Every structure is written in C-alpha cells, then in structure tokens.
Amino acid sequence: MIDAGAVNNGFDLNRMISIAIDISAERNFDKLMQKILLEAMSVCHCDAGTVYMKEKDHLIFSTMFTKSKGLTIEEQNSQTMPPPVPLTRTHVCACAVIDNKKINIPDVYESTDYDFAGAQKYDAMTGYRTGSMLVIPMCDEKGEIIGVLQLINSLDEKGEIIPFDPAYEQIISALASLAAVSLNNHKLAQEIFDLLHSFVRVMVDAIDARSSYNANHTRSMVKYAERFIAWLDETGQDFRIPDKEKDAFLMSIWLHDIGKLIIPLEIMDKPDRLGKLHDGLKSRVEVACLMERIRGYEHPELADECQTGAETLRAAWDDIEDANTRGFLDDARLEKLKSYADITCLNADGEEIPLLNDDELEAITVRKGTLTDDERHQIEEHVVYTARMLGQMNFKGVYEQVPFWAGSHHELLNGLGYPNKLTAPDIPNEVRLLTILDVYDALTAEDRPYKPPMPSEKAFSILESMRDEGRIDGDILKLFKDSGAWNNEVSE
C-alpha cells in the first residue's frame, strides 16, 4: 500500500493508476523498459537512472537515461551499453539483489557502507557528479527479483542535488513491482510467441524433409512478402497490411502448405506422368519383347511376325518414354498414345495381355503436367487439411484468421478456385496477396521436377491473364510487380 504521507508529499494516486495502465498496455519490450525508468525518474524528480535485468549471476543493462546530457533516451540507448554487472558486493545495484533490500544513499562520496569506486571512476572520466542514489529491487508477484531500478541525483526546485526522500521508496517499490509483473507478462507472451514461431518452423522443416521438391517454396514466398510489405510502407501505398496483422499474415504463409504433410509422397513428388507405374510397364515391355524372340525361335515360320511385334512394342515404349516427361501433349500425340492401349503382348506365362492397363493409360495421356484427375484432387485436398489442422490450434486475437488465410490460398475471385468456391466478396486482401505470391513462386521455382523455371516476365504474363479472367486481384498484382519484391537480383 502507498501511505497517505507519500501521497501528501506530492504524489498523485491517480497518476499511479495511469502509470499502471500505461505500462501494462505497452507491448514493445524496449519501450516498456524506457517507460518504467522515465516514470520512476519523474516521480522522484531525479536526473539519471538505470534499469538492470537479472540474468543468472549478472545484472544486464537494459536501459539508462541522464536528463542533463541533453540527448533523448532513444539516442542514449543507441550507444554501446556498459558490460554486465556481476552479482558481487563490488556494485551497489548487486548488493540490492543479494540482500533483497532498498538502498537509499544521500551522497555516495560520504557513504562507507558500499563500494562506490566504480561510480567515482565514472565521474572522473565524464565530469559528472554522482550524489544521491536510490536502488530498488524489482520483485515479481512471486517475490522473485528479476531486476533492479537504480535512480541517481534527486533534484530540488533549483536543480540542486538532494537526498532521495524516504517517502518515495514505497512509491518506487510499488512501481518496480508493477514493472516486474508487466515484464514477466511480457516475457511469458514472448515465450509463447517464440514457441509458436518455433512450431511453425518445425512444421515447414517437416514438409521440406519429406520432399526435396518444393523445399524452398514457402521460404521464397515469405521473402517476397516481407519485401513487399516493407515496400508498401515505405512508399505510402493505400493498400497495406496493418502492423498488427503483419506477423499473422507471414505466419499464414509459413503454414499455408502444412496440409501437404498428409499428401502421399509419390503424388506430391511425382516427377513424370507414369510415376511409380513406370518400372512395371518397362518390365512388361522387356518381357514381351523377349517372349517374341522366344516365340520366333520356337516357330521359325513366325520369325518375321515376331520381329515386327517386338519392334512395334519397342517403338510404342519409345513414344511412351518420350511422352512421360513432356510438359504438354498435343491432340495427335494423345491419340497415338491412346492407340497403344489396343496393342496386346505376352507375359512371362505366355498369356496375352494389354500393353497398357487402365491406370497406365490414364497416367500417360495427361495432357499437361504429371498428375491424373484423381491425383490432382488429392493434391488440392492439402488446403482442406491445412485449414482443418490449423483450426484445431485455437488461434486467438490477431492470429485468429491464420487458418482461414492459409487454407484459402487456392480460392479465386471468380469462384472457380477450391476448396470452397469462394467469390470476391468473401476473399480478403490477405488471401488475394497470398494467392499471387503462391502462383508466382510456383511458376518461377527452380526445384520443381516436372517443369523448368519460368522467367519472371512470362510468369507475370500468366498472372495478368489470370487477372483478365477475373481470377486474381489486378490492383494487388500491379503493386507486387511494381515493388520489385520478387526480383532476387535487385533485392538481395
């Protein structure tokens, strides 16, 4: 409790309440420390002060300020901080921690209770005169000391150095305790923040560990986003990501592909049309050719027929091999590949079987890319898994929209996206930007097994076509293109 004497001595209790609210609301650690120090100095009408934080067997300088230097607290704290103070009796601030007591020294040059050689040496070097000193341990709600508040040179109305009024010890102790609780809350929030971000990185690393393909996709998107957000702020664009949403937006990028952990690896990493079917089909052709040779030996009158049959199989296989890794198959090539389904061949038991089974025919006749309709559907399901997995994490506050943003990055403004067929009114700017980043990196990525990287000019041409079709946001696309955030050669 703050006694009436302290209040009558010039301290307004309402001001203490205001200070408590102000300190509790501060989220920036450095600014919080500065507020604590400045409020304490203001209450005690002193010239200088320092806040130390306790770390193991040392006190670490957190912030310091001397009004008579004529510099702002930010300017003074931008300079090199002194080294840590060991928790020994060679420093009065350390004694306050060791003894867990308030220390009020009227004049350090007349005191014999503590070693002030350090302060006197500092005075000799700088010309400053350290006089009175008040040192208060900062104890949290558990009574544990987490730091020290040290105030120097209380001043009277004429600016003369006077001793610290003992009435202020209780006030500053209350302020120090309040500060300690706020610092602990800040520390806890930071630990939770760090834990959440560590989880995000672990999840991304898990995706990367499953697949060497797409390993850089998420990191590239985050890099583009960070550059773009900074450019928006620097150039004062009307479209910006609000400060309070920036970390949540970046987190939604980090997590947007977390659903790929559930997608079968042979689909996610499928480098060609046949995929795991390739070796079985190749073996079938080799066995069939061998069976034709054997049949020709056993029936010399059929030798020419058998040789022609083997050549037909080898020619068909060459066409299949060529088509297997092509980026695009035209109509003529597709019809030729489909005709191979009518070819029959002999297996090792001499039974006549189709050259291509239904699964192989479907796979090899994919017009563009490597995935069949069913495999593409399974890949598309990753956004459903992303939203479902993140929805179980109970994101709160500014992070509440992370599951929705991350799980909606394949939605399109014209309603032709997936998985929920959202339209423009239901797609916020954060998702619109995430979609553009995702498409751009997918087009230009160098680690995709099924296609070469696309030049930026061509990638933007495709994105602009998507804009013209009403699929993506043209205004955000133009800003992204103008920003140059995608240009690694310029931005690195």
Structural domains of the chain, ranges and CATH numbers in brackets: 4-188 (3.30.450.40), 211-266+374-491 (1.10.3210.10), 272-369 (no CATH)
Instruction: Output the pTM of the full model.
Output: 0.65
Query: Cβ distance 187 to 116 under 8 Å?
Result: no
In the prediction, which pLDDT does 112 show? 85
Q: What amino acid is encoded at 397 in this protein?
A: G
Pairing mode, strands 46-55 and 352-354 = unpaired
306: exposed, middle or buried (Cβ count in 10 Å: 0-12, 13-18, 19+): buried
**Structure-block tokens of residue 1:** 């409790």
Give the single-character DSSP code of 255.
H
In the prediction, which pLDDT does 6 show? 42
| Strand partners of residue 152 | 48, 133
Query: Cβ distance 345 to 284 under 8 Å?
Result: yes
In the prediction, which pLDDT does 324 show? 96
- Asked if residue 419 has a cis previous peptide bond (ω within 30° of 0), the answer is yes
The tens-digit pLDDT sequence of the chain (492 residues) is 334 344 344 455 666 667 666 766 666 777 878 888 888 898 889 999 999 989 889 999 888 999 998 888 888 888 877 889 999 988 899 999 999 999 999 999 998 888 887 778 878 887 889 999 999 998 887 888 988 999 999 999 999 999 999 988 888 888 888 777 777 777 777 777 788 788 888 887 887 777 766 668 888 999 999 999 999 999 999 999 999 999 999 999 999 999 988 888 888 888 899 999 999 999 999 999 999 999 999 999 999 999 999 999 999 999 999 999 998 999 999 999 999 999 999 999 999 999 999 999 999 999 998 999 999 999 899 999 999 999 888 888 889 999 999 999 999 999 999 999 999 999 999 999 999 999 999 999 876 655 677 899 999 999 999 999 999 999 999 999 999 999 987 544
Q: DSSP assignment of 313-327, as one string? A: HHHHHHHHHHHHT-S
In the prediction, which pLDDT does 17 show? 65
Sign of the Cα torsion 32, 33, 34, 38 reads: positive
CA dist 361 and 359 (Å) reads 5
Indicate the helix (H) or strand (E) that contains 149. Answer: strand 145-155
Q: What amino acid is encoded at 492 in this protein?
A: E
Q: DSSP assignment of 428-473, as one string? A: -HHHHHHHHHHHHHHHH-S--TTSPPPPHHHHHHHHHHHHHTTSS-
